[in-house]
Amino acid sequence: MVSRLERLLNLTAALLTTTRPLTRDEIYERVPGYPVDDAKGSARRAFERDKESLREMGIPVETEEVPFTEPPLEGYRIPRDQYALRDPGLEPDELAALHLAAAAVRIEGLRGTEALWKLGGLPAKADDALAAIPTIPQLVPLFVAVGGRRPVSFTYRGERRSVDPHRLSFTRGRWYLDGYDHDRGAARQFRLDRLEGDVALGEPDSFERPAEHANEALPPWQMGDEAPLEARVRIDADLAGWGVDHLGPEAVRARHPDGSVEVVLTVTNRDAFRSFVLGFLDHAEVLGPPELRHDLVTWLTNLAADQSPSHVVTAR
C-alpha cells in the first residue's frame, strides 16, 4: 500500500522531470499508488484531488495539450523555472533576523513557518510573540495586486469599486488599502474589514508604482468627502500629553501656561470628528469654526435633554 504522501512526492517528481506534458494514463503508469481506473473514475478522482493539493501549496501544475495526439489529450507538467524559489541570497544573520521577526510578530492565519522552511529553517526557538496581527481573507490577493501593480475591483459598503492598489497598511489594529479609485477619480483609503466578498484582480503592470511616501492611515475625521474645515480644539492639561502624542506635534497651534494645548485638525468627516472630540469627555473643547462648535453643542444639548424611551416617566 502506497501512502498518499509517497504518491504526492512521486507525482511531483514525475511532473518536474518530464520534458513534455504527461497524460493521465501515463501518470497512473509512472506514479505508483493510483487505484485502477474503473468505471467510477476512481483513479481520475484520486488524481484530481492530488493535483488540487499540489496547486494549493503553490506548486505550478500546468495543464497543456499533449503534442501529436488526435483527438487532443490533456497533459500535465510542472515547469521547473516556475517551481523553484529564486535564491534571495540571505546571509545567516539576515535569515536569523527574519526568523526572529516572524516569531515576534504573528500574522494570524498565514504560513510564516513554511516560508522560513523554504529559506532554510532555523534552529532558534521562538520566544513569546511580541505582537499579533489579525488578517482577513482578502489580504493575500491584495498583497499580490499591490506587488504586481494589478488593478482590483471589490464591493465596499455595498458598492462595486475599481481601484489601482498602491499600498497596504496596518495601523490602529486594522488593515487599510490606499489606492486610486477609478469610480471617484481620486485617491482613496479603504478599510479592509468593510470589503465584502472576493477581490477580482486585473492584468499585471497596469499602472505605475507610486513614489515612496510616508503617509500613514488617515485619521477617521479625514476619511470623508465633506468640504475641509480647520477645526481648533483645546485639550486640557490632563489629556494634553496624550492628545499631542496621538495627533503629532505638528497639530499643536499653541501651548498655554495652564498646561492645556490648542490643536488644529483638518476635518472632512464631521461625524468622526465629533466622536473623536467626545472621547476626551470634558477635557476638550471645540473652539471653532463656529459651525463645528455649533454641531457639537446641538448634539450634546439633545443628549442632555434626552430620556431613554423605555424610562420616560410621565410627570403630572
Partner 1 sequence: MARPSAPDRLRRLLALVPWVVAHDGPTLEEVCARFGLTQDELVSELDLVFLCGVHPFTPDSLIDVSVADGRVWIRYADYLERPLRLTPDEGLALVAAGAAVLAVPGADPHGPLARGLAKLADVLGVDPAVDLDVTLGTAPAGVLESLQEAVSAGRAVEIDYYTYGRDQRTRRVVEPHSVFGAEGHWYLEAWCHLAEAERRFRLDRIGSLTVLDRAALDPGPAAPPPEERPPRGQATSTSHAGVRRVFEPRPDDPRVVLDLEPRARWVAEQYPLERLEERDGGRCRVVLVVSERAWLERLLLRLGPAASVVEGADGVAAAAASRILAAYRPAPRR
Q: Which of 35, 44, 66, 141 binds partner 1 (CB under 8 A)?
A: 141
Q: Which of 96, 136, 187, 218 binds partner 1 (CB under 8 A)?
A: 96
User: What b/e readout covers 79-115, taking b as 16+ CB neighbours within 10 angstroms?
Assistant: eeeeeeeeeeeeeeeebeebbeebbeebeeeeeeeee
Q: CB of residue 66 vs partner 1: minimum separation in angstroms?
A: 17
C-alpha span between 165 and 187 (Å, rounded) = 10
DSSP assigned state of 228: P
Contact (Cβ atoms closer than 8 angstroms) between residue 201 and residue 150: yes
**Subset of 274-293 contacting partner 1 (CB under 8 A):** 274-275, 278-279, 281-283, 285, 287-288, 293
Q: Which of 59, 73, 218, 223 binds partner 1 (CB under 8 A)?
A: 59
Piece of 34-42, 61-69, 128-136, 151-159 that binds partner 1 (CB under 8 A): 128-136
Piece of 13-21, 36-44, 69-77, 222-230 that binds partner 1 (CB under 8 A): 13-21
C-alpha span between 272 and 266 (Å, rounded) = 12
Q: Tell me the three cell numbers of residue 24.
A: 493521465
Q: CB of residue 155 vs partner 1: minimum separation in angstroms?
A: 17
Q: Which is nearer to partner 1, 131 or 315 (CB)?
A: 131
C-alpha span between 45 and 34 (Å, rounded) = 10
Quick note: the x/- pattern for partner 1 over 24-53, rule CB under 8 A, is -----xxxx--------------------x
Distance between first and last Cα of the chain: 89
Contact (Cβ atoms closer than 8 angstroms) between residue 246 and residue 265: no
Q: CB of residue 154 vs partner 1: minimum separation in angstroms?
A: 17
**Subset of 65-94 contacting partner 1 (CB under 8 A):** 80, 82-91, 93-94
Give the closest residue to 51 by CA, choosing from 80, 26, 77, 69.
77
Q: Tell me the three cell numbers of residue 135.
A: 488578517
C-alpha span between 189 and 170 (Å, rounded) = 12
Query: How deeply is 218 buried, as exposed, middle or buried, from its count of CB atoms within 10 A (0-12, 13-18, 19+)?
Result: middle
Size of the site for partner 1 (CB under 8 A): 124
Piece of 9-17, 35-43, 67-75, 220-228 that binds partner 1 (CB under 8 A): 9-17
Q: Which is nearer to partner 1, 184 or 300 (CB)?
A: 300
Q: CB of residue 70 vs partner 1: minimum separation in angstroms?
A: 25
Q: Which of 43, 46, 66, 95 binds partner 1 (CB under 8 A)?
A: 95
C-alpha span between 266 and 227 (Å, rounded) = 10
Piece of 40-48, 68-76, 138-146, 222-230 that binds partner 1 (CB under 8 A): 138-146
The angle subtended at Cα 245 by Cα 239 and Cα 250, nearest 5°, is 115
**Subset of 172-201 contacting partner 1 (CB under 8 A):** 172-174
Q: CB of residue 135 vs partner 1: minimum separation in angstroms?
A: 8
